[in-house]
Structure 1
Amino acid sequence: MFIVNPDPYLLPTFRISPFATSFLSENEKLPFDNFADTYLDNKFNKKQWVYTINGRQAIEQALKNYNLNPTDVVTILTTSGNKYISSCVTSSIEKFCQWNRELSADTKIIFVNHEFGYPFQQMEKLLALNIPIIEDCCTTFFSNDDNNKLGKYGDYAIYSLPKFFPIQVGGILVANNSKLLPPTDLINDEQKQYIQKVLSFHLKQENNLLSKRKENFNYAFNKFSNLGFTLRFETKATTVPSVLMLNNNAVVKDLNELKVHFANYGVQSSVFYGEEAFFIPNHQSLSFANIDYLYNCLVQFLKNQ
């Protein structure tokens, strides 16, 4: 049984990030470990990456190296081709220049957003244009494309650690093609030690982490598909989604109202604006009972819509 109308102060909290309140104390108790640095050296090549406080700082640091003028244009492309894009991206670009959503003669940089864990499928075609590329890999830390080159096509790649780990801060800026990097990490020593120990702990359990994410994704989709929803993106073996993104298929009459409803139940979610789709949390910190709760929230909404 789930309590559907508790006191507002007694609501549970389900975030898109795996972070939950319980990790405050769990992270604090972890011993210092810098295994993460070795892992990232192997993943990105030694001395080609730095820690940042978050993904936004990594984006801005990359853009600083292009001497952009206010009238220059950064073109944002996404896996889906949808016009949906986080304000974290657009507001960061606006500090330097303008942005648009289609390639043009004014495009100075192509910013490729690998959405929700799903790789952009035409990276080789973009490379042939000989325009600088920045890859937004914030939701694709564990995903890869068919060429095993995700994050290696562009001059820079951007990562956000809270998208995949129960951590409150942390980003990574990766430089490819001998591009410039800051001489040191863009965080203080205390922040760095926090990121190192938390990230190290979870990277050492990478196989279990990925197995649990896949198990939860399959369990959740099996339940929600019974209501008539389908997956928005094709999920391959090399894809590790950051959310459960579902096509609505006219099941829900008002997706904006559904978003409000989920929030009232303590669930972070959003509409995939521009399409009849929405997304909800799906990560390794969820139990099957948690997923059952998310499902029950939606069932309650459908009964009353």
Structure 2
Amino acid sequence: MKLINNFILDAPVHLRPIFRISPFKTDDVELNNYFYSMPENVGKLKSYFHVQYPEMHVQLTPRGRDAIALALSAIKLNKNDVVTIFTTTNNFYISSCVTEEIEKFCCWSRSIEKNTKVIFINHEFGYCSRDVNYYKSLGYVVIEDYAHSFYSGTKKRNGFFSGDFLIYSLSKYFPVQAGGVLVYSNEYNFGEDVIEDDVSKYCEKVVSAYIDNADQIAIKRLNNYRYYEVLFNQLNIRPYFELNDDDYPGVFCFTVPEYVNLQEMKKYLNGQGIESSVFYGVSAYFLPCHQALSNKDIEYIFEVVKSYLSEFI
């Protein structure tokens, strides 16, 4: 155990802070319970998406991966069909939450195959792919997974420039424990086949209380990202992603010298209460970057990272 810049590092496990990739914190349990009881928090979330995509339908789901499953079920895939996955960077990394859901229906690949029926675009960590129109031009059904990119690309959104299906995970942007959204084109109609469950209804009401602050949340995330940049610049460490206009980061992903053991770094940081991971396929690592983090929170996370890297510098 040690004291660095007024922070205690390596405290006993049961006394370590917890910083999640999601903005949800324990304090939000009580607040969300209150929001759920407010009758005025009905329909605002769906209205938000109807404004964003006036020519498309909106369906709530318990989780983002349930929205993926719903989209795939509507496409009527065979077991030998292929969903081709592209990402913002087209790096090796893709969440198992995506691949495991696809495997329930068919095969998946990171390149276009002769049996490709769907192109699945993952907008990585708040950084939107700039190639959606190109993928659409190929003639396949297009699914866009916004994951950590709830607010990213909002200035450019409309039905014409969107995929056939859009996936949103509410817990990646708002302080809520669950919730997914499927936005889909008029070519598909689930009708009464889908009944919204209690968890979906709960998340719709709770997030409706936050939705008017979506732009302020985006600004706070961007400010936190900039603060990470300032701190890590002290170690001559740069962000991995190029931050484009209308991108609002869901994580702070940074390049790591190749001589650093990334797996041990992951073990150490998560052991210190910082949910984080390797950006597999490249020498990079990502940390929480959301609206619930204060400057001091970010400084603490930085000191933990710095403490680990000091073994290699």
Tell me the equivalent position of 1:10. 15
Q: Which aligned runs of 4 or more in structure 1 are off by greater than 6 angstroms?
A: none
51, 66, 86: which one aligns with 1:77: 86
- Structure 2 distance, partners of 1:233, 1:84, is 14
1:177, distance to aligned residue in structure 2 (A): 4.4
Q: Does 1:21 align with 2:43?
A: no
1:3-59 CA-to-partner distances (Å, cap 9, x unmatched) read: 112221111110000001111111112224122232222123377011000111000
> Which residue, 249, 257, 260 being the options, matches 1:241?
249
| AA in 1 matched with 2:171 | P
Aligned to 1:53: 62
Cα displacement string for residues 213-247 of structure 1 (whole angstroms, at most 9, x for unaligned residues): 11111111111122122121111230011111111
* Mapped pair 1:289 → 2:296: yes
Letter of the 1:17 partner, please give it. S
| TM-score, scaled to structure 1 | 0.93
Q: Is 1:37 matched with 2:37?
A: no
Q: Is the 8 A contact 1:244 1:282 kept in 2?
A: yes
Mapped contact 1:51–1:185 kept (Cα < 8 A): no
- Amino acid across the alignment from 2:294: S
Provide closer, same or farther for how the CA distance between residues 152 and 123 of structure 1 changes in structure 2, counting only shifts above 3 A. same
Secondary structure, aligned partner of 2:84? strand
Structure 1 residue aligned with 2:224, among 216, 222, 228? 216
Closer/same/farther in 2, CA of residues 125 and 3 from structure 1, 3 Å limit:
same
- In structure 1, stretches of 5+ residues that fail to align are none
State the alpha-carbon separation in 2 of the partners of residues 182 and 9 from structure 1: 49
What is the distance in 2 between the residues matched to 1:302 and 1:84? 23
Q: Sequence identity, in percent? A: 36
Instruction: Give the counterpart letter for 1:22 in structure 2.
Output: D
> Could you tell me which amino acid in structure 1 is paired with residue 214 of structure 2?
E
Aligned residues: 303
In the other structure, the counterpart of 1:265 is: 272
- Per the alignment, residue 210 of structure 2 pairs with 202
Superimposed CA distance per residue, residues 38-86 of structure 1 (whole angstroms, 9 cap, x where no aligned partner): 2222123377011000111000111111221111111111111111110
Q: Which runs of 5+ in 2 are unaligned?
A: 1-5
Relative to 1, partners in 2 of residues 1:46 and 1:21: Cα closer, same or farther, differing over 3 Å? farther
* Superposition TM-score, scaled by structure 2 size: 0.91
Q: Is the 8 A contact 2:53 2:159 kept in 1?
A: no
CA drift of 1:147 comes to 4.6
Distance, in Å, in 2 between the alignment partners of 1:220 and 1:280 is: 10
Residues 81 and 106 of structure 2 are in contact (CA less than 8 Å); yes or no, is this contact kept in structure 1? yes
Alignment correspondent of 1:298? 305
Other-structure match for 1:231: 239
User: Deviation at 1:209?
Assistant: 1.6
User: Which residue of structure 1 lines up, in the alignment, with residue 3 of structure 2?
Assistant: none
Give the equivalent residue in structure 2 for 1:119.
128
Shift of 1:151: 9.4
Contact 1:259–1:271 under 8 Å retained in 2? yes
